Amino acid sequence: MKTKYLISSAIVASLLIVTNALALGGPSGPVSYKAPGKLGAVLVNPYKMAPLTAIIYNGGYNLKDVKVVVKGKGEKGIDIKYLVSDKDVLTHGGIPVWGLYADHVNNVEVSYKRNGEAMSETYKIHAPAIFMNTSGTGQQTSLPKANIVKMDEKFKDRLYLINHLIRNSLPNAGQTLWNYPEGGALPWDLEAMNWIIDTNGDIRWYMKSDVIRDPDNLYRKGNIMGFQQTKDGYMLFGMGQRYIKIDLMGRIVFDRVLPNSYIDFSHHIEQTAKGTYLMRVASANQKRADGKNVRSVRDVIIELDQDGKVIDEWKIYEILDPYRDVGILALDQGAVCLNVDADKAGTTTNKEELEDPNAPWGDIPGVGIGRNWAHINSVNYDATDDSIILSIRHQSAVVKIGRDKEVKWILASKNGWNEKLAKKLLTPVDKNGKALDCDDNGRCENTDFDFSWTSHTAYKINEKSKPEKFMLSVFDNGDARHNEQPAFATEKYSRAVEYEIDEKNMTVKQVWQYGKERGFDWYSPITSVVEYQPQYDSMFIYSAVAGLAKQLLKMGKTEPILNEVKYGTQDVKVEIKFTEMGAATIGYRALPIDLQKAFK
């Protein structure tokens, strides 16, 4: 009794001291939580952006040699395993936990040295249910369902980031216009859906994007897109008037506004081997030859240093011909990138509309500065000659341009190029180097060679390239193939394609393709990606709106298809089909994620 009394008195005395201290504005009382394990507290979603992450705080101990295993759910669940570098432990103040299942009590095994003593324990961590903004109508699930069609055992540890967008999802999205100068693509403002799946199709990460995105704020609007995992493991992407880098825990590394001369980031940003940033933007104010000041549309490339200063710019409307219209005249107006309109499916524009002096400025297919004549959707750096490679959708062209702003080569059909640029066209050749017989619109006799049409993601394959051959991968969307619409929409197809370019002799040969044989079911008129994966010697492909053309024709649904194909073959190692998309959801890109790189 005496001992209990003394403890009670001590407690009372402590409470009086704390109460008096608080009344006098003094220090608060001691931390009252009880640590659930041998370390400190557990905080789920520590940076507000990634609800399926957590930190097990260090509890005041020195932690080293940390290993984490987030156990798979059920008998067939996939374990997420990774090592955590000492610097990441210090950065996060404890053990970063990544890959929790939503609305589930996760078993998380951790091992570490605590003040030099080896320890291991298991935490039970509940992660919340998935909550994301929704279109409200036409959508029945928070995120599309990933259906595993084929999964080679060697690829079972893969993680895939999926980047989708919801059209017209919020009444306040897309309502702002640039005032003076006119034009630009500011109204192109869709809600983001970004998440990571394992090879069971289970969601192991998603972005709560309202931490960085606010449709009511001009400088917080825009499509979140252009994801790249950099060599240091961070996630790099852009959004309208900003470009952003985060880690996989959702911690913001930087969140920057575009330099004042530029507007309307979309589609692509990448960090070069030099550590600089290349991105596709537009001009905030360009004086046209007719004296009008306009904002341009998707036709400027800039390079920034690590501090955000502009190193260089490529104004593509000054390098190419913004009045070349053969590709634009052939575009299916029902699907012009993410501007999808079922009422215009199968229709094309005409010269009168393109050249109408009273046509509005901004994000419309058109010619001249201030309209969407180019629609550049990727920029890729070639360190061997300090140049950039562009995929230019509305020109159905892949173009390489040097630091001197001179065109090195153009991969495209002959039709419509001016005399100067026509000299830069690559000549298609067969496997023996003999020139192919191709007409002005790119039809080549007695060969399976074809150009890429309304393409996306033209990337150099560095690991396969040599001084005498430049290896290039392109997603050939296939709309306006040969500068026309086919008699029947169901004749359309897309391809992942690889070309070998002899830059000295200005020739190109096609060495591989995938997708043509899958026909209309695999056809993606817009978006999508193909990129070589050296660690698996595979071609990663995302036909991001497969089925959209069927949906526009009321013949089916949009069901994107993700593949990994053994390099140089038709051997499909991975196939995942996404269903339950919702009528308003558009697939943009996907990419594999290296978790080990994220925490090294």
Residues annotated as catalytic are 456
Residue 352 sits at φ, ψ, to 5 deg, of: -60, -45
561, 544 contact by CB (below 8 A): no
Sequential DSSP letters for 387-415: EEEEEEGGGTEEEEEETTS-EEEEES-ST
The C-alpha atoms of residue 84 and residue 82 are separated, in whole angstroms, by: 7
Burial of 20 (0-12, 13-18, 19+ CB in 10 A): exposed
541, 530 contact by CB (below 8 A): yes
57, 42 contact by CB (below 8 A): yes
**Number of Cβ atoms within 10 Å of the Cβ of 77:** 15
The C-alpha atoms of residue 453 and residue 396 are separated, in whole angstroms, by: 5
Sequential DSSP letters for 251-304: -EEEEEEPPTTEE-B-S-EEE-TTS-EEEEEEES-EE-TTS-EEE--S-EEEEE
H/E stretch holding 8 reads helix 2-23
Give the Å distances, CA to CA, from 256 to 212, 214, 302: 11, 15, 15
Task: Mention every residue, 6+ apart, whose C-beta is less than 8 A from residue 258.
Answer: 241, 242, 243, 265, 281
The C-alpha atoms of residue 267 and residue 375 are separated, in whole angstroms, by: 10
The residue among 359, 361, 354, 351 whose CA lies nearest residue 288 is 361
Q: Could you tell me the two tokens for 587?
A: 């697939």
The C-alpha atoms of residue 452 and residue 435 are separated, in whole angstroms, by: 18
Residue 592 sits at φ, ψ, to 5 deg, of: -70, 145
The C-alpha atoms of residue 466 and residue 87 are separated, in whole angstroms, by: 37
Burial of 241 (0-12, 13-18, 19+ CB in 10 A): buried
Question: At 111, is the secondary structure helix, strand, or coil?
Answer: strand
The C-alpha atoms of residue 397 and residue 458 are separated, in whole angstroms, by: 10
